[in-house]
Amino acid sequence: MQNTLLSISDNKIGVDANADNTADFYEARVLSATDYYAFGMAMKERSWQSEKYRYGFNGKENDSDWEVQDYGFRIYKPELGKFLSVDPLTQSYPWYTPYQFAGNMPIIAIDLDGAEPQVKIIPKMEHKPFLKAKSVGEAFSNGIHNTIAVPANIVVDVVWNGPATLVNASINLAYGKYNDVNGSLLLMQLNSEVGRQMDGLAKKDASQHWEDFKDAATNLQNYETAGSISLGFRLTTPKVKISSPSSLQSKFRQSIRNKMPNDRQINPVGIPEGGMEGVSSYWKVKGIEIKDGLVLKNGKPYSGQGDYVITESGEFHIGKGHGYLSDNPNSVQAAGGIKIVNGKVMYHNDHTGHFAPSTVELQGNHQLLKEKGITTDNTIQTKLY
């Protein structure tokens, strides 16, 4: 947060560890040390000063006489956690109290100048030269450092700096900092820069391209960027688990098989592995009822084509996806494809491919539909796979 936790002087204090009247090492002279509460008040039991130091919380200058800090636009009182005057922009941002400090987010944000909050970006570890090291020992040491620095920087980018950048952009947008941005001008500048870069690439010979490639291949920042993008996607992409289509097929086939006499055999063709669409493509026609030999939807003759099931309890459902229509694959008397026009069944078959019935099985399904009062003898259509 740029809080001044410790201040030291440039005086070196020599330490003679073996009493030979020669300084073996040096210690820094500490002028002050301070820990802070969330809104910037110093912890008296954890603060110490040998000399008064001008700067403190958020790196702002202290006024020790009044125990306040000057933020430029306003004067801040750490003991209160508020500014002593109204935010000059308060009319434009009514969701903030006019005396708020750092958007009331002191744990993650600082207040730049008494007018707006900003989430701080954590500095990343620097990379040290490996291929251009002066010695083998230095190359080894720098290699270990970079091995730690690259993954550490990736985590910092994904966990903190990336979200912080988005928050700051939202704050700037709310405070109108982008109001004067000319989108057309930005696009023109981008187009000009792309053209300039392309021209530069065209003028380079093969050796220059090779040098550029080596520079890019050894630039650890490129690997950090790729790693941050990859980790960010892995952490933010939702993982949806969908039941295996083959498992759903097996349940349907077993359900139908269990309800048929031994002389009626299932032709277990089914759909190919992975061939079924996700559950988001399943649907059920609501308001379906059967009356006077017609299929009605909300009291009017229904027209449509899709899957159908007759459940164990005798319910008739139309839509897409046998498993979705039945709710429970183990409670199905009949299933297949059906086409209805003006309330009348034109044909029924197994267009869906979840199982392929024999002629005898299809006749059994036809009988169940006939018992529901919605088919005649000329509506059956056999389609074997």
Q: Are 254 and 340 in contact (CB under 8 A)?
A: no
Q: What is the total residue count of the chain?
A: 385
Q: Does 217 map to a domain? A: no
Domain coverage including residue 355: 246-379
Listed in order, strand segments (DSSP E) in 201-343 are: 283-284, 288-291, 294-297, 300-301, 304-311, 316-320, 332-341
Among 120, 145, 179, give the residue marking a domain's end: 120
Q: Which residues pair with 26 in a beta bridge?
A: 14
pLDDT of the chain, 385 residues: tens digit per residue: 456 677 788 888 888 888 888 888 888 888 888 888 888 888 888 888 776 677 878 778 888 788 899 888 899 998 898 999 998 878 877 888 889 888 888 888 888 888 778 888 888 899 988 888 889 898 899 899 999 999 999 998 888 888 888 888 887 777 677 777 777 777 888 888 888 888 877 888 888 888 888 888 888 888 888 888 888 888 877 665 554 445 555 555 555 555 444 443 333 333 333 333 344 467 788 888 888 888 888 888 888 888 888 887 778 888 887 777 776 656 677 788 888 888 888 877 765 545 455 555 556 677 777 777 776 555 555 544 3
pTM, entire model: 0.44
Identify the sign of the CA torsion 336, 337, 342, 346: negative
Among 51, 86, 120, give the residue marking a domain's end: 120
Q: Does 340 map to a domain? A: yes
Burial 175-199 (b: 16+ CB within 10 A, else e): eeeeeeeeeeeeeeeeeeeeeeeee
Among 64, 93, 120, give the residue marking a domain's end: 120
Q: Does 227 map to a domain? A: no
Q: What is the DSSP letter of 107?
A: T
Residue type, 33: A
Q: Does 133 map to a domain? A: no
Q: Does 60 map to a domain? A: yes
- Total structural domains in the chain? 2
Q: Does 131 map to a domain? A: no
